[in-house]
Structure 1
Amino acid sequence: MKRIAGLIKRAVTGERIRYLMRTVLIVAAASLVSIFLSRNGVMKENVLMVFLIGVLLIGAFTAGYEYGIIGAVVSVLMFNYFFTVPVHTFAIMDPNDVALMTFFLVVSCISSGMTARFRRQLAIAEANEKAAKRMSEMSERFINVTGKEQIIALGLAYIRENTGYEASVSLKGCEEENRRESGYILFPISGAVQQIGVLKIFTKDRGIGAEQEIFIRAAASQMGIALDRELIYSEQEKIKLEVEKEHLKSSMLRSISHDFRTPLTGIIGDCDLILQKQAGDDSQAEALVRDIREQSMWLTHTMENILSMTKIENGTGFIDKEEEVVEDLVYEAERHITGLRTHRRFKDSMPEELLVANVDGRMIVQVLVNLLDNAVKNTEEGGRITLNVSYKSGKVYFVVEDNGRGIEPGQEKMIFEEFVSSGGKGPDQKHGIGLGLAICKEVVEAHGGSIWAENRLEGGARFTFWLNAETTGET
């Protein structure tokens, strides 16, 4: 504090010296001009106007009326010494000269006071303009900033830059506003309805000026408006998310009830025919049992997808990795697809190397089942489906292709979202609830891999995903 006081004192002293030097120079210049004019026949009454101009200039180039008064007094003395009889003395013989100098001194004092007042008003106006500009700039910045941390950081930065005080913000447990403790002062941060928090200004017992307090209150108000806006936006997002969740739940329940009813109706009907011994010969009964098995397998796949999506939405930790042989995973997935080889022209290919991957075998099998089942749904009876597995640079690539109707243009990424389904055209094909491809994406990405879809130039769709893997050296 002593060091700061010393710096201020030295600054004020230096400023006074500069103003006094300006006063002396202006009076000296006015005296020289007056002497020059007097020697060229100008009357002393007109010469006195030069000194008056000098006094006005002193008021313009200094701060405070005292310098104008000093200049006026010195100017009167200079006029008395050089231009009144007897010359070069301070005696006054003519009463007119006394009146002239008295009026000059009065006019000079009045003009100095008015000039100083005008300068003060001008300084106040400039300060107000600068403060208004800072406020406007601050308001514009707060309009564009988002996030609680960014809003608080911006407010604290403005306070530090414009007042020199460090500050902190607390959004919990609002304390009494404007409470003054040793070393800091509290200001409220209020929203539209309630107090959001408090702003703590660390003054270090220096106190706060009126202008600084106005700016701090404005900054606290802007922070309150921005934080209130952020809270309202957050609440709106939560409400929107809840509405979307309810909508998704309703969509899933409608899809489940609709898509489960078809196979269950078929299963019940087939069972009734068998129980009533209306199936005819053994071949017809076998066909009915096969149809029951296909419908049951479809229901099983659907339930597995629903359970898997439930685990995924509950958070991480749904993956339990172990070392698995890639070829075993592929054959296990193929075994779960009813009619893959009997109703479709299916072909698979495996690399010569024996590949091992650190994966959750059950989940990867489900990914392959979903992709193959999707290919079956979107191809006609006798359609062609291929599954190609290849290895390159520490990654195993799975490519499922079909010659079905393909993917609608622009839907290549959207089909991996929940409840997006494109059913097949055949009479034996089911619609699905739109979770299979969404599960594929979540599972593959949880393993550190990637999955994408595209249309084939020859017609049909191609689904590709990769996982990290390594070879064992065996064939």
Structure 2
Amino acid sequence: MASLDTQSPSADAVVKEHVLVCVGPAETSRRLIRAAARMAAGLGCAWTAVYVERPDGPALADVDAERLDEHLRVVEALGGRVSRVAGDDIAETVLDYARRIGVTRIVLGKPTHPRIRDLVRGSLLDAVVRGSGDIDVHVIRGEPEAPARPTRVPPSAHEPPRKYVAASALVALTLAISEVLRRILHLPDLEMLFLLAVMVAAFRYGRGPSLLAAALGVACYDFFFVPPLYTFSVADRKYVLTFGMMFGVGWVASALASRLRVQEHRAIAREQRTLALYGLAKALASTEGTAPLAETAVAQVAEVLGAPVEVWLSEGGGRASLVAASAVPATRLAAARDAIEGVVLSKAPVPTRALAASPGTVVAQLSVAGSPFGALVVDVPSTLPHEQVAFLDVLARQIAVALGRARLSEEARALELRARTEEMRASLLSAVSHDLRTPLASITGAATTLRDEPKLSEATRADLVDAIVDQAERLERLVANLLDMTRLEAGIVSPKKDWVPAEEVVGAVLTRLEGRLARRTVDVRIDAAVPLLYVDPVLFEQVLVNLLENAEKHTPPSASVVVGVERRGETIVVEVRDDGPGIPEGAEERIFEKFERGASAASVGAGLGLAICRGIVHAHGGTIVAKNRREGACPWR
């Protein structure tokens, strides 16, 4: 009897699938892409399409480049990731890239070319299968009508006629120099001169001109220097090998030069893109605010791409609006505008691509952490190649991060302001409700007593009336303080300054507070050197009133109060001192905040008097501080 022991795999043993498909300009790539997309959907995993560029490979023809871009756009439309890598060995490059990103399955197309080609150039499929290791390789058949090879652009077709003329002139110059030196140099030395000319033409002018220089060099060398002279016939067959070597050197040198030139162009392109990204990052880092960031972004991207650029952002209510544009906004068809708004308001990621309604408009979605909130729109005269589209996508991601940071910062400031407003509202309601309730209760009680007790004595009635008046004045001060604080915070207080004597201001304040300070000893000390004060008399009186009322509230009736005005250099110091218990340690700055009240008078006042003092003094361009004296009393300056 046998038993079968089964165990479910652990979480660590589960391999995360990743499909990689190799694509190119051939029509077979479309079928491979769809097969890879279906495979990834069935496995529930990510998939990537990779295109390998060979540095020494010939450039693609326009039709093949457009077809390749179309294939890569199909990949993005189907939810795949696109990657371009460079390498001399395609199979090795694909396998290295696959292992680097954790690929578990590779999709390749079945070869349709003759077997003899694999014997000469090697088989990509065989090389990938042999080197795949633990990666599964899936071979998909191609379309029957697929062409065997993509069309390539002859390298010489890119060279302008002037380079061929320059190569011919270089051979002519070499011929002239050889004629001068033929009496002192041997034939092999002259041959080296022509080889040098071929190599110079290869590295300076390209493959086509170098091959022309090789042909002309062989002809000139044969005609002018190889016996019999001035004829193309060759008496010694060894020169045939020499001519072949000259052609071979020209071909190899031109191939190397072409490869170096391609690598140089790609390096320059990468450097330009890196500099563009650095410039954009630097510009965005030095800008704050959503609108300024959008303006900076469109200016930078428009300079890099040489095309009009716009930034669209989502607004409340499911609307999208144009925030910034590098040029006059383009007039778009309704369908194109709707498509842009659809990208901006979409809740799902949308790949960077041209609009179907307007092929010249490329839209890159702006999103942070998978949350779209805008779009970067570029208007181009023709279709952008995929490399430019991919670069635009990188620019859009960088802009999205900056805009997202700005939006979060603005939202945080709004939330902070809302929280402070709510806190202020709660403090205001708490303070005002208490300070309104107390005088209103006193007024109501006194008035009710006067109404219900007709037999009260005249003295009692007078006391009740005085209590009503005092509490009404208290209510009036509370309302006035609230109005003054509101005006100060709104910034609508503009001091109407005038030259007034310090004695006049202090005297007006003492007269105004004569009733409240009747039982206090107030000592006024004004230095004779004090000039006229350039202040708003009404507002400055309010400052002294609030300070003296504060001293009256927080000191015993036996305490004395000193009001001093003196000149210290170019500064006028106005000081109010009292003999009270002083300010709690650490509260010297806090007492100037709104609704901050002292412990000894918790039931009196709304805590706005000192805040109003600070606002008025700051409006005059001055400063106000509170300090404790050694004996515990408090001077206000």
Q: TM-score, normalised by structure 1?
A: 0.68
- Give 3-state SS (helix, strand or coil) of 2:636's partner: strand
Which of 198, 209, 215 lines up with 1:55 in the alignment?
198
Shift of residue 305, structure 1, vs aligned partner: 1.7
Shift of residue 355, structure 1, vs aligned partner: 7.1
> Deviations along 1:389-412, whole A, 9 cap, x unmatched?
579999987432223344456655
Which of 251, 257, 269 lines up with 1:115 in the alignment?
257
One-letter code aligned to 1:126:
I
* Alignment partner, residue 622 of structure 2: 450
* Alignment partner, residue 374 of structure 1: 550
* 8 Å contact kept, 1:294–1:338: no
* Alignment partner, residue 463 of structure 1: 636
Shift of residue 418, structure 1, vs aligned partner: 1.5
Which of 232, 236, 240 lines up with 2:408 in the alignment?
232
Structure-2 change in CA distance of 1:345 and 1:208 (3 Å): farther
- Give 3-state SS (helix, strand or coil) of 1:455's partner: coil
Single out whichever of 85-94 and 389-398 deviates more from structure 2: 389-398
Structure-2 change in CA distance of 1:414 and 1:32 (3 Å): farther
Residue 610 (structure 2) pairs with residue 437 (structure 1): yes
> Deviations along 1:157-202, whole A, 9 cap, x unmatched?
42454345576667674445567999xx75547432455466566x
* Alignment partner, residue 417 of structure 1: 593
- Give 3-state SS (helix, strand or coil) of 2:522's partner: strand
Structure-2 change in CA distance of 1:272 and 1:27 (3 Å): farther
Which of 474, 478, 498 lines up with 1:302 in the alignment?
478
Shift of residue 356, structure 1, vs aligned partner: 9.2
Structure-2 change in CA distance of 1:418 and 1:431 (3 Å): same
- Give 3-state SS (helix, strand or coil) of 2:293's partner: helix
* 8 Å contact kept, 2:443–2:471: yes
- Give 3-state SS (helix, strand or coil) of 1:191's partner: strand
* 8 Å contact kept, 1:399–1:463: yes
* Alignment partner, residue 131 of structure 1: 273
1:264-283 equivalence runs, <5 A: none
Which of 521, 546, 567 lines up with 1:345 in the alignment?
521
Shift of residue 288, structure 1, vs aligned partner: 9.0
* 8 Å contact kept, 1:266–1:295: yes
* Alignment partner, residue 243 of structure 1: 419
CA distance in 2, matches of 1:122, 1:24: 29
Shift of residue 241, structure 1, vs aligned partner: 0.6
CA distance in 1, matches of 2:625, 2:426: 28
Shift of residue 119, structure 1, vs aligned partner: 1.7
1:53-452 equivalence runs, <5 A: 54-60=197-203, 62-81=204-223, 84-87=226-229, 89-102=231-244, 104-159=246-301, 161-164=303-306, 173-174=321-322, 175=337, 177=340, 188=363, 190-192=365-367, 193-194=371-372, 196=374, 199=377, 210=385, 218-219=394-395, 221-257=397-433, 297-313=473-489, 315-317=490-492, 330-331=506-507, 333-335=509-511, 337=513, 340-348=516-524, 359=536, 361=538, 363-388=539-564, 398-407=574-583, 412-424=588-600, 432-446=605-619, 448-452=620-624
Structure-2 change in CA distance of 1:164 and 1:16 (3 Å): farther
Structure-2 change in CA distance of 1:168 and 1:429 (3 Å): closer
Structure-2 change in CA distance of 1:261 and 1:393 (3 Å): same
CA distance in 1, matches of 2:228, 2:543: 118
* 8 Å contact kept, 1:383–1:404: yes
Shift of residue 150, structure 1, vs aligned partner: 3.5
- Give 3-state SS (helix, strand or coil) of 1:453's partner: coil
- Percent identity, please: 24
- Give 3-state SS (helix, strand or coil) of 1:154's partner: helix
CA distance in 2, matches of 1:356, 1:99: 108
Structure-2 change in CA distance of 1:273 and 1:26 (3 Å): farther
CA distance in 1, matches of 2:634, 2:565: 17
Instruction: Please list every run of 5 or more consecutive structure 2 residues that lacks an aligned counterpart in the other structure.
Output: 1-159, 314-319, 323-336, 341-353
* 8 Å contact kept, 1:27–1:71: no
Q: Bigger relative contact order, structure 1 or 2, given CA contacts below 8 A and separation 6+?
A: 1
- Give 3-state SS (helix, strand or coil) of 1:386's partner: strand
CA distance in 2, matches of 1:18, 1:310: 83
Structure-2 change in CA distance of 1:20 and 1:298 (3 Å): farther
Shift of residue 124, structure 1, vs aligned partner: 1.6
Shift of residue 145, structure 1, vs aligned partner: 2.6
One-letter code aligned to 1:191:
L
Structure-2 change in CA distance of 1:26 and 1:302 (3 Å): farther
CA distance in 2, matches of 1:377, 1:19: 102
* 8 Å contact kept, 2:564–2:574: yes
> Deviations along 1:426-463, whole A, 9 cap, x unmatched?
xx7855432111122233444x4434114265553333
* 8 Å contact kept, 1:441–1:451: yes
One-letter code aligned to 2:202:
G
Shift of residue 154, structure 1, vs aligned partner: 2.9
- Give 3-state SS (helix, strand or coil) of 2:403's partner: helix
* 8 Å contact kept, 2:174–2:197: yes
Shift of residue 21, structure 1, vs aligned partner: 5.5
Instruction: Please list every run of 5 or more consecutive structure 1 residues that lacks an aligned counterpart in the other structure.
Output: 1-11, 465-475
CA distance in 1, matches of 2:510, 2:286: 55
Structure-2 change in CA distance of 1:128 and 1:317 (3 Å): closer
* 8 Å contact kept, 1:385–1:403: yes
The two structures, once aligned, show a CA RMSD in angstroms of: 5.3
Single out whichever of 116-125 and 233-242 deviates more from structure 2: 116-125
